[in-house]
Amino acid sequence: MDAQTFTLRWGLGLVAALAALAAAAPLLAPYDPGEQLDPPTAMLRPPGTALAAVRLAGGGWLLADRVERRADGGLLLHRRGRGDEVLAAGQVSNLTAAGVADGRLFLLGSDKFGRDVASRMLYGARVSLAIGVVAVALAASLGIALGALAALGGPVLDMLIMRGLDALLAFPWLFLMVAVSALFRPGTTTLVLILGATAWPYISRLVRAELLSLQQREFILAARAMGQRPVVILFRHLLPNALAPVLVQAVLQVGVLILVESALSFLGIGIQPPTPSWGNMILEGQDELFQAWWVATFPGAALALTVIAFNLLGDGLRDLLDPRRAGATLPGS
Amino acid sequence: MTGFLLRRLAASLLLLVLVLSAVFFLIHLAPGDPTQILEDPRISAAQRAHLRQVFGLDRPLPEQYAAWLYAVAVRGDWGLSFAQRRPVTALLREALPATALLGTTALVVDFGLGTLLGVAAARRRGSAFDHLIRIVSLMLYSQPVFWLGLMAILLFSHAWHLLPSSHMHAVGAERMGAAESFFDLARHLLLPALVLGVPMAGATARFVRASLLEVMGRDYIRAARAKGLSERRVVWVHGLRNALVPIIQVFALTIPLLLSGSLITEVVFAWPGLGRATFEAILARDYPVILAITALTAVVVIASNFMADVLHAAADPRVREPSQGGRTA
């Protein structure tokens, strides 16, 4: 397998797998992402911890490290943080001969509220992927429209758009985004708008360059000589031929924007708790980094893997669709 | 050349004014007011009105803008920090050296490691080693810096006790001798600089590789080889020197990335620089500080773009000529 096939195949495979995991989060997640499973017994448990779950006759659950049936039929609970507790048989509704019928497994550990890290990561994947894709769709629409306007709208418009674009590209985007998202009420919509607004220049510049070079080609001259209207030429001949590099850049931008979204969430001004996002999970895990490494480590690894997946896919697509530029474009550089 | 310089300079200044104005109006149009955070709820409405008057917040927006622009441009006065109640310039003077130190070290890591990887990949083009470097550099620039920072702290500070996890100096550093103090600073600098610089080296490696490969096909490289020069000399002297021209522009593009990255790195490592000052100012809605730092970062970025244009023009005369009416793709 050569290198091109390798990047494309792995990129496509990873992105598809991540999208499937995110889409199936409600089916796959063992628990509700916001459910606080009996803290302090369940808080900050390491990956792989299995606890017995005692169903109370009056409703609700108690978690315990170990349960024993007592001679009198009652239940002895060994609970971390609470000591031992005794329940009468009548108080428990899921009794079996040896103990209780249910259990809880924290596959990737639990956080300080006793929430399941794995479940939160699955739901966090939905947030990250959705925001990345929607923001890029927004950036692409804006970028294609303004890029086409710059290329075809005459020299004054071109100058104005390109200078505005230079200003945006010259800017340390994070400072601006941090300022904007701190000043306006943080929320998903604000975040998508900010991300989309900062990503369009990369796409605009590409679209403009593509259109300018396409305009010199014979088939466009022919279409014009045949008297086709400019709008028809734009939509039927120019844009379809300019789409390959735009698609590549869009895929790379999804990775970049997912990274930016989680950076903002990590700074506390992106996705707000209790909605789980990888960025705010890492922020919450930062406080217990030394006592509970898993809370910040796993969401970060998922984040890195996702960005790698989109960069691989973008790279592979470029090698396939746009070999001229192979190895030359980088996301958002 | 003079005409070119003047044109670029004028464009840079215009850009600077645009960016500053945009930031000023954006911040002032946003809901919320610093006096709400500045004082506790026991303060009376009259006192709050007085505060608004002292800071000039009661005047119309265009008037505030004109006053601010005048003070900044003519008197070099960036105003008072709402939260810290001292001149913004004093605050910046404290934070700037820390960021400059971190940024410069990270740049050295970035371009040092990036050039090594890029040249190594280009010399073995198409080999398994080349592909390995391609994948490794992709993985590097895909890393979330804040997570990488936490992982570095977890391993190097917490698990292995090799390096300090935060701040610029150890407690009691002011009583150390010069050598000891320098060593202490270097130990504190190493982790943040690596966390900031290594991911960027991934992107640099790609540029160096692409740029070097383009140059290595040229006639003067064949001539250098024909002279019997060693391959090492051909690559590192004849090839890399010419490949550096496009890399000058990459360098300018790196500056905004570096500043953004240093904001996060400084927050993670409690590094007392501009990034952390920005973060704190934003939490406190400290307008004058936000404005000043945004302006400062814009100046740095625009100046580095200007420098890159000048260096590029010096290296390549074709850049200097104004385009003859035709627009280039």
Residue A170 has pLDDT above 80, yes or no: no
CA of B169 vs chain A CAs: smallest distance (Å)? 21
Distances (CA, A) of B168 to A96, A172, A212, B226, B269: 59, 24, 51, 52, 9
Average pLDDT over chain A reads 86
Q: How many helices (H) and strands (E) does chain B have?
A: 13, 0
Amino acid at B271: W
Half-sphere exposure of B142 (CA within 13 A, CB side): 26
Residues of chain B with confidence (pLDDT) below 70: 1, 30-42, 55, 317-329
Q: Which of B30, B278, B327 sits opposite A178 (nearest CB)?
A: B278
Residues B288 and B81 sit within 8 Å (Cβ to Cβ): yes
Q: Which of 173-232 (A) contact B at CB < 8 A?
A: 173-176, 178-180, 182-185, 208-210, 212-213
Contacts of A331 in chain B (CB under 8 A): 141
Centre a 10 Å sphere on the Cβ of residue B77 and count the other Cβ atoms it contains. Answer: 15
Contact: B144, A303; criterion CB under 8 Å: yes
Q: Which residues pair with A161 in a beta bridge?
A: none
State pTM to two decimals: 0.87
Q: Which of B150, B256, B282 sits opposite A172 (nearest CB)?
A: B256
Contact: A170, B15; criterion CB under 8 Å: yes
Contact: B19, A163; criterion CB under 8 Å: no
A156 Cβ under 8 Å from any chain B Cβ:
no
Contact: B147, A304; criterion CB under 8 Å: yes
Residue A310 has pLDDT above 80, yes or no: yes
CA of B126 vs chain A CAs: smallest distance (Å)? 9
Residue A4 has pLDDT above 90, yes or no: no
Contacts of B11 in chain A (CB under 8 A): 163
- H/E stretch holding A283 reads helix A278-287
pLDDT band at A220 (very low <50, low <70, confident <90, very high): confident
* ipTM of the complex model: 0.87
The percentage of residues in chain A with a pLDDT greater than 70, rounded to a whole number, is 91
pLDDT value for B327: 41
Rounded Cα gap, residues B279 and A299, in angstroms: 23
pLDDT band at A333 (very low <50, low <70, confident <90, very high): very low
Contact: A155, B267; criterion CB under 8 Å: no
pLDDT value for B324: 42
Q: Which of B26, B139, B302 sits opposite A170 (nearest CB)?
A: B302
| A vs B: CB pairs below 8 A | 155
Residues B252 and B304 sit within 8 Å (Cβ to Cβ): yes
Residue A330 DSSP one-character state: -
Q: Which of B11, B30, B328 sits opposite A183 (nearest CB)?
A: B30
Contacts of A148 in chain B (CB under 8 A): none
Burial of residue A324 (number of CB atoms within 10 Å: 0-12, 13-18, 19+): exposed
Rounded Cα gap, residues B188 and B21, in angstroms: 37
Distances (CA, A) of A181 to A254, A276, B144: 19, 18, 19
pLDDT value for A140: 94
Query: What is the bridge-based pairing of β-strands A66-69 and A75-79?
Result: antiparallel
The pLDDT tens digits of the residues spanning A53-86 come to: 888 888 888 888 888 888 888 888 888 878 888 8
Rounded Cα gap, residues B152 and A160, in angstroms: 45
Amino acid at A299: P
Q: Which of A183, A308, A333 sits opposite B142 (nearest CB)?
A: A308
Q: Which of 293-312 (A) contact B at CB < 8 A?
A: 293, 296-297, 300-301, 303-304, 307-308, 311-312
pLDDT value for B41: 63
CA of B272 vs chain A CAs: smallest distance (Å)? 16
* Residues A167-193, mean pLDDT to the nearest whole number: 73
Residues A328 and A30 sit within 8 Å (Cβ to Cβ): no
- By CA distance, what is A289's nearest residue in B? B154
